[in-house]
Amino acid sequence: METTLIILKPDAVQRGLMGRIISRFVEKGLQIVGAKFMQITQKIAEKHYADHVGKPFYESLVRFMTSSPVLVLAIRGVGAIAICRKMMGATFGSNAEPGTIRGDFGVSNSFNLIHGSDSPEAAQKELGIFFADGEIIDHDRSIEPWVYDMTGGEPE
Q: Active-site positions?
A: 115
Determine contact, residues 77/31, Cβ cutoff 8 Å.
yes
Q: What ranges in the chain are assigned the alpha helix state H?
A: 10-14, 18-28, 42-48, 58-65, 80-88, 101-105, 120-130, 144-147
Distance from C-alpha of 100 to C-alpha of 85, rounded to nearest angstrom: 9
Give Cα separations from 132 to 26, 45, 96, 127, 136 (angstroms): 23, 16, 33, 8, 8
Determine contact, residues 21/70, Cβ cutoff 8 Å.
no
Distance from C-alpha of 36 to C-alpha of 7, rounded to nearest angstrom: 10
Determine contact, residues 3/12, Cβ cutoff 8 Å.
no
